[in-house]
Chain A
Amino acid sequence: DAMVIQNPRYQVTQFGKPVTLSCSQTLNHNVMYWYQQKSSQAPKLLFHYYDKDFNNEADTPDNFQSRRPNTSFCFLDIRSPGLGDAAMYLCATSRDIVDTQYFGPGTRLTVL
């Protein structure tokens, strides 16, 4: 089945230690998104890629970066995680910029 895959499902890192989260898709969608969802809150968009074009939300901290080396993969890099960055990170894709978004299962990040 075509799907959005996130690895790992659970990630533990130390305060200040860089961490990378991975998302891949078999849907061949043009757009990939990263959301941050803190406990008991709504997901919040961090940034998205339309093909190779990167679009950052205005309030996304500089500590968060992203890479999309090809259509199938997108990475979220947190350069120096703080305790406040502990959250579920959700990847989503859509066929085009106005189409429905499909979400992966998420990666729960713990910062010690």
Chain B
Amino acid sequence: GNSVTQMEGPVTLSEEAFLTINCTYTATGYPSLFWYVQYPGEGLQLLLKATKADDKGSNKGFEATYRKETTSFHLEKGSVQVSDSAVYFCALSEKGGYNKLIFGAGTRLAVHP
């Protein structure tokens, strides 16, 4: 079945450090890929998405590129801020069927001043 694997957290960084959170997926067909962010005590917010191979999603300085050959969608940011501290979820939804989101386990990011 479809699945998403994320790197385990927590990831602890100093402010202005470079961030990478790895995400790989297993899916039949050609899924759409998403990164959602969850701040403490809040629901999920869509951070970025990509719907086909080689698409790059970007938002608020975060980027991720849909790599079909490596089945990956790694999240990157060049310079993190304390306000980026949150849990990040990678997810896929399979095209052609109903819109079920399959989430990874989440990666907690803690950014220190």
Chain A interface residues (CB < 8 Å from chain B): 6, 31, 40-45, 48, 50, 55, 88, 90, 92, 94, 97-106, 108
Contacts and interface: CB of A to CB of B under 8 A. Distances in A.
Contacts of A41: 105-106
Contact of A103 (B43, B93, B105): B43
Interface residues of B, number: 20
Nearest to A94: B99
Nearest to B103: A42
Contacts of A90: 43-44
A69 to B, nearest CB: 22
B101 A45 contact: yes
* Highest count of chain A CB atoms <10 Å: which of B42, B43, B93, B103: B43
Contacts of A88: 43
Contact of B98 (A44, A50, A104): A50
